[in-house]
Structure 1
């Protein structure tokens, strides 16, 4: 490889500590990194700098998700490589279209060699590749239920979730009940289902070590 050629990577995560960690390690590994904390700024940076690859978290907080960002960027530049950080396998409808894609567990990003290998694979293959990620119970939830669960994990009560999502309280209560059913928490008579659901979400998304 030409020693003057520097591969560029855009890192997208709404948790600054993760982008800072990855940027430092990738810079030390010879990459040039750009950082964004939401889908809108990521798209703007990508259009301006045309990175070779994008590493994006599945859950970007408010606004478009990591899969929606990847679909948008792939439509602009099909040759761009993508690494999606997640701890559950997205469905085909969530993923939409991206020819050079790798799934990578957020638990694996502390091993920089694993991240570099993932980037190498999506920059060179020109075809979709997938990591070895085991589906979790989160894959049983709809996109709307995941959004409700994300707010539960942030500590919002049902009334606050209803206001946040601009829906009725009854609709939120029904969603919460279906989330408990899907996660099989209705079978657990001990402890708080709400705390347990929040912990499952945190573990599944790789947030803060899965602590409730």
Structure 2
């Protein structure tokens, strides 16, 4: 599967050695990763890292569980691909893995090669098309963005600087710069050197929602 941007996976696993191994395998296969040992840390990472997929154990040794985390994050970002990697029996996950439509369940007992893990991620990602596949400046196209990305896009449309966006969102300027760069890539507004990506992104927002207030 070819993409114009590196796909990101948020890995949540309470066993340190396995967490490191999973990240290493994914990075070797072209993914960018961020890792957390529990759901609370993962939720904090989610907004800044802006993942395309969540790879999580179900039992994280504390609450919220991996299933609860996946439910919460998929509500915030409907495009998020979900893969559960767990020692739970497959039957426990149910027909729709832990009640989440299109989630993929992989028993740890069957994780015998990197291909098994990568194939599961590709399956989950193919069920959640990349935002670039969405058509142009429409409300439906922008609907593939996360809530946080839409908020940042609205601030861009108001003409706010990165410094002001950082202050408003409680982020660092560097984090805002990364978020905006990824947002521009998703909206595919960086291809024409004669057009400012900031102006093009704001125009898409105006076309979908009208003047920003």
Question: Partner residue of 1:122?
Answer: 124
Corresponding position of 1:49: 49
Deviation, 1:109, is 3.1
- What displacement does 1:69 show? 0.7
The aligned residue for residue 105 of structure 1 is: 107
Question: Would the aligned equivalents of 1:101 and 1:122 in 2 still touch at CA under 8 Å?
Answer: yes
How big is the shift at 1:108? 3.0
RMSD: 2.3
Counterparts of 1:84 and 1:96 in 2: how far apart (Å)? Answer: 9
Query: Unaligned 5+ residue runs, structure 2?
Result: 130-213
1-side partners of 2:52 and 2:112: how far apart? 21
- For normalisation by structure 1, the TM-score amounts to 0.54
Please report how far the alpha carbon of residue 81 of structure 1 lies from its aligned counterpart in structure 2 after TM superposition. Answer: 0.4
Aligned-partner Cα distance in 2 for 1:46–1:20? 18
- Length, aligned pairs only: 126
Q: Deviations over 1:32-76 (max 9, x none)?
A: 011000001111111221101011001100221111111111111
After the TM superposition, which of the residue ranges 98-107 and 23-32 deviates more from structure 2?
A: 98-107
- The match for 2:181 is none
TM-score when scaled to structure 2?
0.54
**Aligned ranges 1:62-81 → 2 under 5 Å:** 62-81=62-81
- Cα deviation, residue 3, structure 1: 6.3
Q: What is the CA–CA distance in structure 2 between the aligned matches of 1:119 and 1:19, rounded to whole Å?
A: 16
